Amino acid sequence: MPVLFKLLKLVAPNWKAMALATFFSFLTIASNIGLLAVSALLIARAALHPPILYLMPLIVGVRFFGISRAVFRYLERYISHKTTFGILKEIRVWFYSCLEPLAPAALSGYRRGELLSNLVNNVETLKHFYLRVLAPPATALVILMVTSAFLARFEIKLALTFFFFYVLAGIGTPILIKILISGVGQQLVKVTTALNAHLVDCIQGMTELTVFGHKERYEQETRKLGKKLVGLQGHEAGLTGLANTLTGLLANLTLWTFLVLAIPLVEKGELEGIYLAMLVLAAYSGFEAIYPLPLITKNLEESLAAGKNLIQITAIQPQVQENLAYPTCQLQEASLRIEGLSFRYDENEPWVLQNINLELLPGERLAIIGPSGAGKSTLINLLLRFWEYEKGKIYLGGYDLKSLPPELVRSYFSVVSQQTHLFNATVKENLLLAKPTATPEEIIAACQKAHLHDFIETLPRGYETYIGEKGLKLSGGQRQRLAIARALLKDAPFLILDEATNGLDAVTERELWQELAKITGGKTTLIITHRLTGLEKVDKILRLNEKGQIKENGPLSY
């Protein structure tokens, strides 16, 4: 139920447009009823050979309803879809803005494909919520009332017959279909999400799967999920057919019952004969509003399952809680002090960092070294406020890190990480991400420092070259240098190089270390490395052991 309320709350601001679309939907079906009823009346009247003038209003009526039906249908589709897509846009923005503060810490348990599926498929599924869940019953109800009132003006028995079959078709068939289709909506969402997550995994890991010979297994899994999805969709299609058949059957039964009831009335002279065909066809065409009803429960189930998936993720609390009342502060100096910092990812997990103490003055360069798994990247994640720490203190420029807004903290750091993401865009666009206002000269200067400029110059389109998905058109070393250039362009007071020279050839690596002073340009720098190359260029060293404890701390002593 909370999911239903949440979905209603999301669509509620658009209730005026939705009411207008429902009104046009009613007018469309009413025009159809009018068209068939007036046509029947015209034929019945014409059979009596009256002067043509008597038929003129009916001829105009047929033309009017024929045209109005198309116009109203167009307006209904236009308004309902425009509103629905507007709602979906808002849901997407809402979901993304909830997702952003959760990355990376709180989302580490989710597969990328699952998140993608939520953002694309589940949001898309919600379009049914208004179009196929909320609107059809409203239209059907108005048609029921108007048509019954119209029939009652001629004969109450006919109105009651219509009411009975209409309600039976409008409530009985959906109940029957609900029993038969129970759970299919939920399963459809589940299987679609699983299939998408699996496909994203496959595409991302295609090279590894081919190299390690697991392609077959993944293909089998894809086929299995695909078969399941087709099975569910087949089941759904079969039941849609059954629902349409049942509704059609009840519409025809209404038609026959009308004839059985009305013919004696005509014989007795209680009903004028020319109205017979009109009333029968009016009742029959009123059933058009019933056809979408049987699948409401399935669509509702699907919308609720999709909504639940979205809400579950948006309800996750970010690792680092934002405090709305951060005092305004401006960093005066790029110093860093860490006092007695200990951290573990979870209460039940071992400590990753233990009692870390560190003092870094503005412009100093620190090398953090230690074996793999010692907690070097974890320390950086804490500095960037991706994870919350309980024990110890971190001061940035004299301010307690926790008293600064996480966004502001991140703006003080330029980071080259081990898995820097490059976008499928041009070299220049990737660089501008760090500083959208950068001038061409600044871009070139950053690339020269990162030893990338000469290579870019050799490309036929230079800085306008597309580098492909994740920069795959570049070599590992070129990607890394692009990441370094991007970090340098950001020009933040702190620079973090997390295994930044990985993937570089020995010559370039040595050259970069030689020019470290030029590259870092007075920024307070933290260099994470497990190699000792270039260490003579740093001022301090923090050596961690595999338990995340300090083995050596202080100025470099050579």
Name the minimum Å distance from CB 372 to ligand ADP: 4
Considering the complex, state which of residue 334 and residue 528 has its C-beta at the smaller distance from ligand ADP: 528
Name the minimum Å distance from CB 318 to ligand ADP: 14
CA distance 219 to 421: 28
Considering the complex, state which of residue 117 and residue 378 has its C-beta at the smaller distance from ligand ADP: 378
Name the minimum Å distance from CB 516 to ligand ADP: 21
Please calculate the CA angle 246-191-170 and round it to the nearest 5 degrees.
20
* Strands of the sheet with 391-396, listed across from one edge: 353-360, 336-343, 391-396, 399-400
* Strands of the sheet with 494-498, listed across from one edge: 413-416, 494-498, 524-529, 365-369, 540-544, 550-555
Of 224-253, binders to ligand ADP (CB under 6 A) are: none
Name the minimum Å distance from CB 394 to ligand ADP: 16
Q: Quick check: 377 binds ligand ADP (CB under 6 A)?
A: yes
Output the 3-class SS for 192-252: HHHHHHHHHHHHHCHHHHHHCCCHHHHHHHHHHHHHHHHHHHHHHHHHHHHHHHHHHHHHH
Contact stretch for ligand ADP (CB under 6 A) within 43-51, 286-294, 374-382, 481-489: 374-382
Name the minimum Å distance from CB 336 to ligand ADP: 18
Q: Quick check: 468 binds ligand ADP (CB under 6 A)?
A: no
Considering the complex, state which of residue 419 and residue 437 has its C-beta at the smaller distance from ligand ADP: 419
| Alpha-carbon distance values, 144 to 38, 65, 168, 169, 254 (Å) | 19, 19, 12, 12, 14
Considering the complex, state which of residue 187 and residue 381 has its C-beta at the smaller distance from ligand ADP: 381
Of 306-345, binders to ligand ADP (CB under 6 A) are: 345
Of 104-143, binders to ligand ADP (CB under 6 A) are: 108
Q: Quick check: 372 binds ligand ADP (CB under 6 A)?
A: yes
Q: Are residues 302 and 185 in contact, defined by beta-carbon separation less than 8 angstroms?
A: yes
Contact stretch for ligand ADP (CB under 6 A) within 198-206, 224-232, 372-380, 501-509: 372-380
CA distance 527 to 538: 9
β pairing state of 336-343 and 391-396: antiparallel
| Alpha-carbon distance values, 34 to 135, 170, 278, 285 (Å) | 21, 21, 9, 9
Give all strands (DSSP E) within 41-122, no chain letters: none
Select from 198, 376, 435, 481 the one that contacts ligand ADP (CB under 6 A).
Answer: 376
Q: Quick check: 557 binds ligand ADP (CB under 6 A)?
A: no
Considering the complex, state which of residue 134 and residue 374 has its C-beta at the smaller distance from ligand ADP: 374
Of 431-450, binders to ligand ADP (CB under 6 A) are: none
Name the minimum Å distance from CB 356 to ligand ADP: 12
Q: Which residue has the tokens 């009692």?
A: 355
Helix (H) or strand (E) holding 34: helix 15-47
Q: Are residues 175 and 298 in contact, defined by beta-carbon separation less than 8 angstroms?
A: no
Considering the complex, state which of residue 277 and residue 374 has its C-beta at the smaller distance from ligand ADP: 374
Select from 113, 286, 292, 375 the one that contacts ligand ADP (CB under 6 A).
Answer: 375
End-to-end distance of the chain based on CA atoms, in angstroms? 68
| Alpha-carbon distance values, 243 to 28, 141, 527 (Å) | 22, 19, 67
Name the minimum Å distance from CB 501 to ligand ADP: 15
Considering the complex, state which of residue 286 and residue 375 has its C-beta at the smaller distance from ligand ADP: 375
Rg over alpha carbons for the chain, rounded to the nearest Å, is 35
Name the minimum Å distance from CB 357 to ligand ADP: 18
Considering the complex, state which of residue 281 and residue 336 has its C-beta at the smaller distance from ligand ADP: 336
Considering the complex, state which of residue 368 and residue 482 has its C-beta at the smaller distance from ligand ADP: 368
Contact stretch for ligand ADP (CB under 6 A) within 160-168, 201-209, 284-292, 376-384: 376-384
Q: Quick check: 514 binds ligand ADP (CB under 6 A)?
A: no
Residues 6+ apart with CB under 8 A from 415: 380, 384, 487, 495, 496, 498
Name the minimum Å distance from CB 205 to ligand ADP: 20
Of 515-534, binders to ligand ADP (CB under 6 A) are: none
Q: Quick check: 374 binds ligand ADP (CB under 6 A)?
A: yes
Considering the complex, state which of residue 123 and residue 352 has its C-beta at the smaller distance from ligand ADP: 352
What x-and-dash track marks residues 340-359 binding ligand ADP by CB under 6 A? -----x------x-------
CA distance 65 to 31: 5
CA distance 450 to 457: 14
CA distance 83 to 296: 20
Name the minimum Å distance from CB 345 to ligand ADP: 3
Name the minimum Å distance from CB 378 to ligand ADP: 3
Considering the complex, state which of residue 279 and residue 368 has its C-beta at the smaller distance from ligand ADP: 368
250-271 as b/e: b if 16+ CB within 10 A: bbeebbebbeebbeebeeeeeb
Q: How many residues bind ligand ADP (CB under 6 A)?
A: 11
Q: Quick check: 378 binds ligand ADP (CB under 6 A)?
A: yes
Considering the complex, state which of residue 97 and residue 533 has its C-beta at the smaller distance from ligand ADP: 533
Interface with ligand ADP by CB under 6 A: which residues?
108, 345, 352, 370, 372-378
